[in-house]
Chain A
Amino acid sequence: MYEFVSGPLVWISFIVFIGGSIYRLVSMFKLADKEKVIFPYMSLKYSLRSLIHWIIPFASTNMRRRPFMTIITFAFHICLVLTPIFLLSHNLLWYQSWKISWWTMPERTADIMTIIVIFTAIFFLIRRLVLPEVRFVTFLSDYALLTVAVAPFITGFLAYHQWLPYKTMLILHIISGEIMLIAIPFTRLSHMLYFVFTRAYMGSEFGAVRNSKDW
């Protein structure tokens, strides 16, 4: 079992993740070309201006209006993306298979970042359940997506601390990570891919056409 999920399944999920992402982006570009009014209005300057205002915490009005939500959102996304990349044990696996490695974060830091992901995800869950404007637009799929995103961190945390049977947790951890990778291009987790482009388009339209700010 372990051999299967840590061998062929890893290959499959990475191929699906990378291939699927490329496919989604290529089809987006094709559709944008078909729509005719997208590319002529794109402006690098205003795309970057918009992106900068939305990837720096508190640089946009809505972020300042909701400071707590802003901190939680940034903490969640930063930890979610960086932890798996710079985790020592992940690096060791890369080294074992491909003889490549890069900087790794101290295990204690990774541990804290994992806890941050789990707790911020719980915050998102509560927010979904409690705030009427969010609950109104919540579907089962929203809970599913949140579960997919947080499952690798919960299982990883449990596996690392070996509070539950290590081998089972490890297999569950690997599977949940693979599910997440596969899900990114084909679910609304693809906001990871599209974010840059939706922002860039709106930034261009607001900047180049409308001569105003979009933050």
Chain B
Amino acid sequence: MTEPAAEAVVDPGIDEKIKKLTPERIESTINKVLTKGAAARLKVYLQTCVHCGLCADACHFYLSNDKDPKFSPVGKVKQTLWEIIRKKGKVDGGFIKDCSRIAHTECNVCRRCSMYCPFGIDIAYLLLLVRRMCALLGVVPQYLQDTVNSHAVTMNQMWVKQDEWIDSLQWQEEDAQDEVKNARIPLDKEGAEIMYSVIGPEPKFLAQLLGNIAMIMAVAGMDWTMPSFDGWDNSNMPMYSGDFETMARVERKHHEAALKLKVKRIVMGECGHAFRGAVYDGPKWLAWKEPPVPIIHAVQFYYELIKSGRIKIAKKFKEPVTVQEPCNIVRGRGLGDMLRYIMRATCEDFRDVYPRYEHNYCCGAGGGVINCGPQWKKSRVKGNRVKAEQLKATGAKFVVTPCHNCHSGIEDIVEHYNLGMHTKFFSEILIDVMEIPEDLKVE
């Protein structure tokens, strides 16, 4: 094992938990994951990798840490999985600690590297396997584990109780009515066309976004609803900690809420990882080839509303603005063009980024990394200097981030590198620029 790349961070979720591990437990857990939890992909990927290092340039952690090979995708696999396999699971607690640091906090599982590997090896998958081993050993950064515990107990990420949830919705409904007459957040409306779902942090500390969607839905005249019961939260942190059993429970609950409400489709708020969980990673674990209810991301939804003319733009946003393309909806779902369409439709001075589309850099926060907590913030922000340089080059004053993780991650980067920019969700732009029909205007 090489020296830890980042300076030592105290994290009770890791430091205290490794004290409880026995060599037997480590070995049997690891071997269970290697033999029962993985099969063809693990074996073939390990046999195919020729250690060429061509994936290195894909990783923002590697590029931002002055090309330190410990941060290259294959370098991370070497320090974790290769070593585990070479030692047949006979590793100690200190090694597991390093594994958790590398897999949970120094890789966003953004999958950019699999586009740089000549063989198309899914390196993020290999690091997710390492996370799985750590999670089964109970070694997960404390903040991340807390969100997982919340998911397991309450089916939402932020320990939000049902009365608080309903209360937040009603409060935001009232606030929205100050801007748009008749704006409503219909709860449990069976047979509505759309179920709108959000992530736990929205009612917890970004409640205005709930008000925004109420206004947008009212202006567009959509038939929609939100569940008052569990299943309203579409986020999924256990997917990133490695607790796939809880991940599956959360996804199942989310889809069941939609089935119970008999909606035609689910529209998700501006979040990338939630989309990944609901559309492909979750269904895959549940052995569903496709989600049972069609799901679209907010970007697709806004594209529909603007393109079809259901929402008209009154005055475009004037300031120079650029965009952060969330990996899970652009590299993960090809929404890059729709995102540019809605940006151009609403903003006068849209500055594109480079590299872009599938090749855009991750925000550094996704993949559960920001959820590992404030003690890991320093290494996370340091590990994404390239993003700061990329944003700076656009000369924009605002960054639209149609994803919660991107939003918080980019905010941290903007602050640390003094970029003098502001982050905005797309809905914040949209409510500013959309035309409110006469009959919905508040006198």
Residues of A within 8 A of B161 (CB): none
CA distance A212 to B359 in the complex (A): 11
Q: In chain B between 420 and 441, which residues have their CB closer than 8 angstroms to a CB of chain A?
A: none
State whether A210 touches B333 (Cβ < 8 A). Answer: yes
State whether B44 touches A210 (Cβ < 8 A). Answer: no
CA distance A134 to B359 in the complex (A): 22
Asked whether A137 is an interface residue with its Cβ less than 8 Å from the other chain, the reply is yes
Asked whether B115 is an interface residue with its Cβ less than 8 Å from the other chain, the reply is yes
Task: Knowing A133-B75, A212-B331 are in contact, say whether A191-B289 is a contact too (CB < 8 A).
Answer: no
Asked whether A71 is an interface residue with its Cβ less than 8 Å from the other chain, the reply is no
Interface-facing stretch out of A4-12, A26-34, A151-159, A173-181: A26-34
Task: Knowing A38-B41, A212-B333 are in contact, say whether A133-B118 is a contact too (CB < 8 A).
Answer: no
State whether B39 touches A137 (Cβ < 8 A). Answer: no
State whether A209 touches B44 (Cβ < 8 A). Answer: no
State whether A62 touches B116 (Cβ < 8 A). Answer: yes
Residues of B within 8 A of A66 (CB): 54
Asked whether A13 is an interface residue with its Cβ less than 8 Å from the other chain, the reply is no
Asked whether A135 is an interface residue with its Cβ less than 8 Å from the other chain, the reply is yes
Asked whether B379 is an interface residue with its Cβ less than 8 Å from the other chain, the reply is no
Picked from A132, A134, A205, the residue with its CB within 8 Å of the CB of B51 is: A134
State whether A194 touches B53 (Cβ < 8 A). Answer: no
CA distance A150 to B357 in the complex (A): 40
State whether B287 touches A212 (Cβ < 8 A). Answer: no
State whether A40 touches B74 (Cβ < 8 A). Answer: no
Asked whether B318 is an interface residue with its Cβ less than 8 Å from the other chain, the reply is no
State whether B43 touches A214 (Cβ < 8 A). Answer: no
State whether B287 touches A137 (Cβ < 8 A). Answer: no
Asked whether A109 is an interface residue with its Cβ less than 8 Å from the other chain, the reply is no
Picked from B44, B48, B115, B357, the residue with its CB within 8 Å of the CB of A214 is: B115
Picked from B67, B120, B359, the residue with its CB within 8 Å of the CB of A61 is: B359
Interface residues of A, count at CB 8 A: 50
Residues of B within 8 A of A198 (CB): 44-45, 48, 119-121
State whether B53 touches A134 (Cβ < 8 A). Answer: yes
Asked whether A86 is an interface residue with its Cβ less than 8 Å from the other chain, the reply is no
Interface membership of chain A positions 126-137, coded 1 if the CB is closer than 8 angstroms to chain B and 0 otherwise: 000001111111
Picked from B48, B53, B330, the residue with its CB within 8 Å of the CB of A131 is: B53
Asked whether A163 is an interface residue with its Cβ less than 8 Å from the other chain, the reply is no
State whether B72 touches A133 (Cβ < 8 A). Answer: yes
Residues of A within 8 A of B54 (CB): 62, 66, 69
State whether B75 touches A137 (Cβ < 8 A). Answer: yes
Residues of A within 8 A of B116 (CB): 61-62
Asked whether A107 is an interface residue with its Cβ less than 8 Å from the other chain, the reply is no
State whether B69 touches A137 (Cβ < 8 A). Answer: yes
State whether A190 touches B48 (Cβ < 8 A). Answer: yes
State whether A135 touches B331 (Cβ < 8 A). Answer: no
Closest beta carbon of chain B to A29's beta carbon, Å: 8
State whether A132 touches B67 (Cβ < 8 A). Answer: yes
Asked whether A56 is an interface residue with its Cβ less than 8 Å from the other chain, the reply is no
Closest beta carbon of chain A to B69's beta carbon, Å: 4
State whether A212 touches B332 (Cβ < 8 A). Answer: yes
Task: Knowing A132-B69, A136-B75, A202-B114 are in contact, say whether A38-B48 is a contact too (CB < 8 A).
Answer: no
Residues of A within 8 A of B118 (CB): 54, 62, 73
Identify which of B51, B70, B330 gathers the most chain A CB atoms within 10 Å of its CB.
Answer: B51
Identify which of B52, B72, B332 gathers the most chain A CB atoms within 10 Å of its CB.
Answer: B52
Asked whether B78 is an interface residue with its Cβ less than 8 Å from the other chain, the reply is yes
State whether B333 touches A188 (Cβ < 8 A). Answer: no
Closest beta carbon of chain B to A31's beta carbon, Å: 4
Residues of B within 8 A of A203 (CB): 120
The chain A residue with its CB closest to the CB of B68 is: A132
State whether B53 touches A210 (Cβ < 8 A). Answer: no
State whether B40 touches A34 (Cβ < 8 A). Answer: yes
Task: Knowing A62-B116, A213-B358 are in contact, say whether A194-B48 is a contact too (CB < 8 A).
Answer: yes
Task: Knowing A198-B121, A210-B280, A212-B358 are in contact, say whether A190-B69 is a contact too (CB < 8 A).
Answer: no
Closest beta carbon of chain A to B177's beta carbon, Å: 38
CA distance A80 to B54 in the complex (A): 21
CA distance A38 to B125 in the complex (A): 13
Asked whether A17 is an interface residue with its Cβ less than 8 Å from the other chain, the reply is no
State whether B120 touches A137 (Cβ < 8 A). Answer: no
Residues of A within 8 A of B333 (CB): 210-212
Q: In chain B between 53 and 72, which residues have their CB closer than 8 angstroms to a CB of chain A?
A: 53-54, 56-58, 62, 67, 69-70, 72
State whether A210 touches B334 (Cβ < 8 A). Answer: yes
Q: In chain A between 64 and 100, which residues have their CB closer than 8 angstroms to a CB of chain B?
A: 65-66, 69, 73
Identify which of B44, B70, B114, B332 gathers the most chain A CB atoms within 10 Å of its CB.
Answer: B44
The chain B residue with its CB closest to the CB of A185 is: B47
State whether B330 touches A31 (Cβ < 8 A). Answer: no
Residues of B within 8 A of A137 (CB): 51, 53, 69, 72, 74-75, 78
State whether A65 touches B45 (Cβ < 8 A). Answer: no
The chain B residue with its CB closest to the CB of A61 is: B359
Which A residues fall within an 8 A CB radius of B? Answer: 28, 31-32, 34-38, 40-41, 50, 54, 60-62, 65-66, 69, 73, 131-139, 142, 145, 188, 190-191, 194-195, 197-199, 201-203, 205-206, 209-215
**What 5 A-B pairs have minimum CB-CB distances, sorted nearest first?**
A202-B120, A211-B334, A136-B69, A31-B40, A32-B40
